[in-house]
């Protein structure tokens, strides 16, 4: 059961059918999860924004950096050209090079890409080096290619899976989480989907309820033993709303406001990146074109506010979903991270009258 199934209703907008990033039409997610008794707890989560050859049919995209202590690959080219040309892959910090290389392999395997000599791999990461023996760099190119291959539409597994296999969030077991929002028909009926890899700290609150304080477990609960090596949060936002890169960047920035509402603080040690891209069919950018021009029909600046609200709500809920789905895990060097104690949490939610 997900947070919403327990009566935790975040925000004022409706979710999509699956309440997942895959509510955005055409989006596929693939995951490879590795849990081994020798201390390997890591994985790969791949997000494919559409079904075509992405390199030949790029899509508008932007990245907002909430806090840049991270190793994300692909940033500067996305910012300069305003588009992405590979799927988005999430994994652990030290496996970014492997995933980048795998995305080059992936791109090369399309016959139409046979002359391509430059690929801007987009790879995000968080550091699962507490539960996972990260220095072994267990992820191989094959793992990444498998995640890309097994990507599908429909429901997405959350919690200790994919790139979230070994992550920790607010001191509890974190992981992959997802959520979505749908705008009213009169406002375009667009879908905004969010997927997070949660691995950060702060003072957890769920729909405004001070869970971290009540459980006496948060980043500052023992101030002289404050944990400094906070992880990070990777946030992927996809929407079918027709947004140009400037407005995708503004949309991406709002995801951090959603993270804020869970109690996150974008700590010094955190790599908080938001990748936002539009899957709107009319906005595809052909790699080659006979024309000097391209025509875009996009939303006006004045009509963004509901999308901003949507991404804030979906980010908040995706993070909470990651916590609800994750399970306690014993990992590398016997590190043990407990899941969010569900029963107690729901009790506290009830105490604060926040279960519908």
Nearer to a second copy, 125 or 158 (CB): 125
Query: For residue 349, how many C-alpha atoms fall within 13 Å in the half-sphere facing its CB?
Result: 22
Structure tokens at 207: 């729909």
**Segment interacting with a second copy (CB under 8 A) among 171-179, 182-190, 321-329, 335-343:** 182-190
* Residues identified as active-site: 232, 270, 272
3-state secondary structure (DSSP) of residue 270: coil
CB 121 within 8 A of CB 99: yes
Q: Could you tell me which of 252, 267, 305, 265 has the C-alpha nearest to residue 84?
A: 252
Q: Is 76 in the site for a second copy (CB under 8 A)?
A: yes
Q: Is 245 in the site for a second copy (CB under 8 A)?
A: yes
Q: How far is the CB of 284 from a second copy (least distance, A)?
A: 13
Among 18, 25, 53, 69, binds a second copy (CB under 8 A): 69
For 315, phi then psi, to 5°, come to: -70, -45
Q: How far is the CB of 124 from a second copy (least distance, A)?
A: 11
Among 5, 38, 135, 333, binds a second copy (CB under 8 A): 135
Nearer to a second copy, 157 or 281 (CB): 281
Nearer to a second copy, 40 or 65 (CB): 65
Q: Is 37 in the site for a second copy (CB under 8 A)?
A: no
Q: Is 346 in the site for a second copy (CB under 8 A)?
A: no
Q: Is 334 in the site for a second copy (CB under 8 A)?
A: no
Q: Is 181 in the site for a second copy (CB under 8 A)?
A: no
Provide CB contacts within 8 A for 207, sequence distance 6+.
8, 9, 10, 316, 320, 349, 354
**Segment interacting with a second copy (CB under 8 A) among 39-47, 145-153, 245-253, 321-329:** 245-253
Beta bridge partners of 277: 61, 238
**Segment interacting with a second copy (CB under 8 A) among 159-167, 168-176, 254-262, 338-346:** 254-262
Among 25, 140, 153, 244, binds a second copy (CB under 8 A): 244
Among 258, 319, 321, 337, binds a second copy (CB under 8 A): 258
3-state secondary structure (DSSP) of residue 106: helix
Distance CA 152, CA 134 (A): 28
| String marking each residue 289-328 x if it binds a second copy according to CB under 8 A | x-xxxxxxxxxxxxxxxx-xx--x----------------
Q: Is 104 in the site for a second copy (CB under 8 A)?
A: yes
Distance CA 52, CA 32 (A): 22
CB 241 within 8 A of CB 226: no
Nearer to a second copy, 13 or 18 (CB): 13
Among 24, 84, 266, 337, binds a second copy (CB under 8 A): 266
Q: Could you tell me which of 205, 212, 208, 207 has the C-alpha nearest to residue 9?
A: 207
Distance CA 4, CA 320 (A): 10
Nearer to a second copy, 21 or 204 (CB): 204
Distance CA 325, CA 346 (A): 14
Nearer to a second copy, 44 or 156 (CB): 44
Q: Is 13 in the site for a second copy (CB under 8 A)?
A: yes
Q: 69, exposed or middle or buried, with CB in 10 Å at 0-12, 13-18, 19+?
A: middle
């Amino acid at each position: 059961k997900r947070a919403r199934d327990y009566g935790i209703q975040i925000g004022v907008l409706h979710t999509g059918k699956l309440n997942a990033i895959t509510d955005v039409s055409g989006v596929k997610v693939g995951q490879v999860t590795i849990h081994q008794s020798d201390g390997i707890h890591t994985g790969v989560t791949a997000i494919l924004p559409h079904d075509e050859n992405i390199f030949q049919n790029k899509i508008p995209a932007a990245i907002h950096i909430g806090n840049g202590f991270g190793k994300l690959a692909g940033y500067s080219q996305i910012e300069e050209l305003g588009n992405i040309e590979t799927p988005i892959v999430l994994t652990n910090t030290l496996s970014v090079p492997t995933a980048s290389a795998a995305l080059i392999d992936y791109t090369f395997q399309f016959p139409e890409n046979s002359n391509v000599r430059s690929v801007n791999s987009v790879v995000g990461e968080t550091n699962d080096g507490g539960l996972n023996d990260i220095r072994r760099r267990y992820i191989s190119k094959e793992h990444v290619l498998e995640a890309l291959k097994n990507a599908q539409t429909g429901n997405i597994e959350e919690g200790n899976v994919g790139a979230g296999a070994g992550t920790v969030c607010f001191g509890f077991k974190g992981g992959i989480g997802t959520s979505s929002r749908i705008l009213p028909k009169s406002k375009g009926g667009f879908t905004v989907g969010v997927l997070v890899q949660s691995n950060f700290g702060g003072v957890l609150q769920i729909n405004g309820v001070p869970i971290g304080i009540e459980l006496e477990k948060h980043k500052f609960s023992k101030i002289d033993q404050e944990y400094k090596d906070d992880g990070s949060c990777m946030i992927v936002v996809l929407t079918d709303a027709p947004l140009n890169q400037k407005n995708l960047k503004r949309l991406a920035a709002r995801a951090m406001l959603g993270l804020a509402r869970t109690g996150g603080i974008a700590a010094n040690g955190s790599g908080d990146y938001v990748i936002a891209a539009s899957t709107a069919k009319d906005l595809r950018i052909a790699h080659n074109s006979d024309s000097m021009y391209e025509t875009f029909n996009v939303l006006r600046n004045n009509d963004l506010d509901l999308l901003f609200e949507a991404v804030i709500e979906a980010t908040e809920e995706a993070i909470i979903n990651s916590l609800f789905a994750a399970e306690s895990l014993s990992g590398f060097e016997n590190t043990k991270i407990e899941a969010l104690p569900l029963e107690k949490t729901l009790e506290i939610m009830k105490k604060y009258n926040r279960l519908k």
